[in-house]
Amino acid sequence: MPHLNLESFNSLSLPTQCDDVEFLFQANYKNPDEGALIATRYKGREFFIVYKNGVKKLLKSDKVTRPSPNFILKHALLAYAKCSNSPILDSNVDNAPENTHLKTHDALKTISYFAENFPRDREVRIEIGFGSARHLLHQASVNPDVLFIGLEIHKPSIEQALKQIVIQNLNNIMILDYDARLFLEFVPSNIVGKIYVHFPVPWDKKPHRRVISEPFLKESERALRIGGTLELRTDSENYYRFALETFSSPRQSRFDVRKNQEIAIVSKYEDRWKKMEKNIYDVTFTCDIESPEPDMESTFSFSKTPINSDAVDSLSRETYKRDWGFIHVERIYSVGEHGAMIRLAMGSFDRPESTYILIENATARYYPTLPVRTSANLKAHILLDELLHG
């Protein structure tokens, strides 16, 4: 992860702008000597950079709001160090200009793009964890009338895919840096032709982290058109057997199993596994039903009544668990003389989300973006609003 090791950290008078980067406000840890978060805006993206005071004085990315591509973060880190006159001892941040290929693409989307106006004008296919993007790029090139959405959280893989999209002049791919388990709730019903899950992380010791699960299968079936497929391809026998059990869980389901079948394009890892003579398993679920649209009418607006002065501290004293999920305060920050900010984990137990709530003038708002609009997050928001204003 990009970071700077500083000789000393100097705060800026905020808000300010330097080298086309805006630094908006600073949120301090409960003990200000530990460090701070600096709200940053660059190229239309809002995110936090983090100062961490320890054995080393580090300026780095905040994991929750980290932007993509990496150039945005690197540029912001260097701009802050320069503007604040904070000397850099060492870093893993280069000063290279923005990749020209990444400048010319518009394939990289945010989750809000899909939440506000999901594309409905053609068949959609989704690839989850596209890695080297060989399969995604091949499928898009041979199916020009289909919209492909590729999900990946590995930043270098995303940047390589974006570069190839420009080089190959493909206009039917959208890339998203997001958790696939959350993304499917945004997909309208009955529009997806295929969902590819090729060689996901097996998570043998933490099976709850697997992409394939009963809730994921349920959301996939809703999003798929009749005859659409969810395709798992794996070299893990454990994952293969787990998928068989999961795909068998609905009262009625149809799936087929294949072993060591050739496909048109494979990843470099699959090439390696074949040389090692590992077995490759395919488990394909086929949708046989038409599904209604999900009911997601609630919003993430907070009540207008002033927040009780003790509400934030009270909120941090326990984890609030319900049958749909939970909310838990991970950290509280001070903002200015009277403001505060909460880092909150919320949503379902299987796929929680971390988000920030900024509290100014006794009113709350999510910052810098709203939580993902899942049913569990909406329920968590209702509970949070009650606790803050109760």
**Cis check: omega of the bond before 67, within 30 degrees of 0:** no
pLDDT band at 365 (very low <50, low <70, confident <90, very high): very high
Helix (H) or strand (E) holding 273: helix 268-275
Cα-to-chain-centroid distance, residue 136? 19
Whether pLDDT at 210 is above 80: yes
pLDDT at 1: 77
DSSP assignment of 104-152, as one string? H---EE-HHHHHH----SS-EEEEES-TT-HHHHHHHHH-TTSEEEEE-
**Band of pLDDT at residue 53, cut at 50, 70 and 90:** very high
Average pLDDT over residues 229-256: 92
pLDDT attached to residue 96: 64
Average pLDDT, integer, range 360-371: 92
Cα-based distances in Å from 291 to 35, 194, 221: 49, 16, 8
Confidence of residue 103 (pLDDT cuts 50, 70, 90): low
Quick one: pLDDT at residue 101? 57
Q: Is 70 left (phi over 0), alpha (psi -120 to 50) or beta?
A: alpha
State the average pLDDT over residues 61-84: 90
Contact 304, 283 (CB under 8 A): no
Report the distance separating Cα 286 and Cα 278, nearest Å.
Answer: 26
Instruction: State the Cα angle at 165 between 64 and 232, rounded to 5°.
Output: 65
How does residue 138 score in pLDDT terms, banded at 50, 70 and 90?
very high
- Say which amino acid occupies 30: K
Given a cut of 70, whether residue 296 has pLDDT beyond it is: no
Q: Is the pLDDT of residue 351 over 80?
A: no
Q: How far is residue 381's CA from residue 353's CA, in Å, rounded to a whole number? A: 12
Is residue 105 predicted with pLDDT exceeding 70?
no
Judged by average pLDDT, the poorest of 91-95, 155-159, 384-388 is: 91-95
15-47 pLDDT, tens per residue?
999 989 999 999 999 887 889 999 999 988 999
Task: Give the residue, 317 or 116, on which the prediction is more confident.
Answer: 317
Per-residue pLDDT tens over the stretch 12-22: 999 999 989 99
| Residues 184 and 216: beta-carbon distance below 8 Å | yes
Give the residue-averaged pLDDT of 344-373.
Answer: 91
Q: What is the DSSP string of 52-107?
A: EESSSEEEEE-TTT--SSHHHHHHHHHHHHHHTT--EEEES---PPPPHHHHH---
Is residue 252 over pLDDT 60? yes
- For the stretch 269-295, pLDDT in tens is 777 877 888 899 999 999 999 999 877
Average pLDDT estimate for 74-84: 94
pLDDT at 104: 53
Residue 247 has pLDDT above 90, yes or no: yes
Rounded to the nearest 5 degrees, what angle is found at the Cα of 215, between the Cα atoms of 209 and 218?
A: 140
pLDDT in tens, 146-162: 999 999 988 889 989 99
Q: What is the pLDDT of residue 249?
A: 87
- Which comes out higher in pLDDT, residue 210 or 269? 210
152 contacts: CB under 8 Å, gap ≥ 6: 129, 130, 131, 133, 158, 161, 175, 176, 177
